[in-house]
Amino acid sequence: MTFEELKEILTNIKAHYQNFAIYDYVVEEWYKVLKDYEYDDVMESLVDHLTSDNSNELPKAYQLVKYLTSKDLKKKCENNRYIVSCNLCDRWMSLDKFDKHYDKCLHEFGRKFKNTKRV
């Protein structure tokens, strides 16, 4: 997103959380985290937060992009034509990486599941 778009998002947060102070260092830090993501995606995350049970807590930059796909990755996936999500860990990736990932993820998942069962 652009710097202007970031400012719009921060103003939006300020509208809902009066305690949120937009200092220069806050803007810089948020920009570091959000610049690789698209405005619309982050805005959607923000609305999700505002309508969630945690809406009384100030949203954090990292929290807003946690489940988003960065612009770079989106582009890469466009170039590879297909993007898929792993149903075990919810990560997004291009199709050519999926097989390898899925084997690894399934192994991890199996281990986690076994550990949970033992407890």
Nearer to Zn ion, 59 or 69 (CB): 69
Considering all CA atoms of the chain, what is the largest pairwise distance in Å, rounded to the nearest integer? Answer: 52
Write the binding mask 66 to 105 for Zn ion: x where contact by CB under 5 A, - elsewhere. --------------------x-xx---------------x
Smallest distance from the beta carbon of 113 to Zn ion, in angstroms? Answer: 13
Nearer to Zn ion, 7 or 97 (CB): 97
Nearer to Zn ion, 27 or 105 (CB): 105
Nearer to Zn ion, 30 or 98 (CB): 98
Smallest distance from the beta carbon of 84 to Zn ion, in angstroms? Answer: 10
The CA-based dihedral angle spanning residues 27, 29, 33, 35, taken in that order and rounded to the nearest 10 degrees: 40
Going by C-alpha positions, the residue among 20, 65, 62 that lies closest to residue 40 is 65
Smallest distance from the beta carbon of 85 to Zn ion, in angstroms? Answer: 8
Smallest distance from the beta carbon of 99 to Zn ion, in angstroms? Answer: 11
Binding site residues, Zn ion, CB under 5 A: 86, 88-89, 105
